[in-house]
Amino acid sequence: MTKTTASFWIQELLLQPHAEGGYFRETGHSPELIVTEDRLERYLYSNILFLLTADNPSHFHRLKSDEVWYFHEGSTLTIHLLHPDGRYEAVRMGRHPENGELFQFTVPKGVIFGSSIEGQSGDFALVSCMVSPGFDYRDFELLPYDVLLKYYPDCGNVLEKLAYKKLPRDCFRNEQV
C-alpha cells in the first residue's frame, strides 16, 4: 500500500488554506435553515473536510456552535481546549483506541480550541468536522496570544504553539475571553 501524503490529500480533495491554519473544503450543509438565539439564520448543520500538518496546526479560535470531529487518516491529532472556567484539556484523536485515542469528539460551543499533530515535518491528520448550527464566519473568532495569556496564564507552552502572535489580515480580534 502506498503511503499517502498531505500534498496528495490537499490536491485530491481540493482543499484550500484556512485562516485558522490547515486546509479545508466545505462538503455540504443541511437544506433546512434555523433561527439562532441571536435571531440569525443558519443552516441546521454544515460539514467540512479538514487537514492539519505538523507544520500547519489549527490556531486557537472559538465558535458559537458545537463542532463534531471525525478522524479519518494520518497521524494522531490533539485537540487543545481552553474552557471558560480556565481549565485546559487535551483530547487525542487517531486510530489507536487502546491508547486513548478517539475516532470522534465534540468540541462544545464557546470553548476556545486549536489542534496540532505531534510529529515530524510531513506528518498530517485528515478529519471531517460537522458544525451545528451550521458554520458561519460571523460566529468564528480567532484569539491572539496576548489576549489568551491574560486569561490562561498557566497555558504558556500550548499558547506559544497554537496562538497567533499577530492575527492574519481581515480576522476579528477579540479583546475579551
CATH number at residue 24: 2.60.120.10
Note whether 63 and 131 are within 8 A (CB): yes
Peptide linkage before 57 cis (omega within 30 of 0): no
pLDDT digits (tens, 9 = 90+) for 119-141: 777 899 999 999 999 999 889 99
What is the tally of structural domains in the chain?
A: 1
Residue 173 in any domain: the answer is no
Amino acid 118: pLDDT: 82
Residue 151 in any domain: the answer is yes
Question: 14: which residues sit within 8 A by CB, 6+ positions away?
Answer: 25
Residue 78 in any domain: the answer is yes
Amino acid 170: pLDDT: 56
What does residue 67 show for φ and ψ, rounded to 5 degrees?
-130, 120
Residue 86 in any domain: the answer is yes
For 44-61, what is the mean pLDDT? 96
Residue 176 in any domain: the answer is no
pLDDT digits (tens, 9 = 90+) for 100-124: 999 999 999 999 999 999 877 789 9
Amino acid 1: pLDDT: 38
Residue 47 in any domain: the answer is yes
Residue 131 in any domain: the answer is yes
pLDDT at 177 over 60: no
pTM for this prediction = 0.91
Burial class (CB in 10 A: 0-12, 13-18, 19+), 119: middle
Asked which of 1-5, 97-101, 147-151 is least confident by mean pLDDT, the reply is: 1-5
Considering the chain, what is the average pLDDT of its residues?
92
For 17-40, what is the mean pLDDT? 92
Amino acid 120: pLDDT: 78
pLDDT digits (tens, 9 = 90+) for 16-25: 999 899 999 9
Residue 15 in any domain: the answer is yes
DSSP letter at 168?
Answer: P
Q: Which domain holds residue 140?
A: 6-162
